[in-house]
């Protein structure tokens, strides 16, 4: 009886070790905390940092400066339907031409974060549009 219990315990231990190995190789690989390498693109006083977070999710952050408070910025992530996907992070800077306000030269900080869905092989570019 003791011999059968020892053999059963041995097989359970082997089974648990195999499951741990599978988890370490496949499941943990897509965990967001396993990759911490942010990539950076800079253009016209604006910096884009981005990284693949796992499970087809990318995170990005756009930082920079606008020359005055009369300008506003909107950020859009456009994902092209191809493989690998080509993602364009578009920063649209718009001048608010209101006759009610006077624009003075005060630097306005820009800090916008977001996410988009694309495969791990996607390529990311930054495009800045001034309107």
DSSP 83-100: SS-EEEEEEEEEE---SS
Where exactly are the structural domains of the chain? 1-30, 35-130
List per-residue pLDDT tens for the chain, 131 residues long.
788 888 888 889 898 888 888 777 776 555 555 446 899 999 888 999 999 998 999 999 999 998 888 888 999 999 998 989 999 999 999 988 766 667 788 888 999 999 999 999 999 999 999 88
Give the predicted TM-score (pTM) of the model. Answer: 0.68
């Amino acid at each position: 009886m003791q011999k059968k219990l020892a053999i059963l315990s041995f097989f359970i231990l082997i089974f648990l070790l195999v499951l741990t190995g599978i988890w370490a190789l496949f499941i943990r690989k897509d965990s967001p905390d396993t990759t911490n390498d942010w990539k950076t693109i800079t253009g016209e006083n604006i910096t884009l940092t981005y990284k693949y977070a796992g499970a087809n999710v990318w995170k990005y952050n756009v930082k920079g400066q606008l020359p005055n408070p009369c300008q506003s910025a909107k950020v859009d992530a456009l994902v092209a339907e191809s493989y690998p996907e080509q993602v364009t992070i578009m920063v649209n800077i718009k001048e608010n031409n209101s006759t009610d306000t006077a624009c003075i030269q005060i630097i306005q900080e820009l800090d916008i974060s977001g996410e988009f869905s694309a495969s791990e092989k996607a390529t990311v570019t930054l495009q800045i549009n001034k309107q």
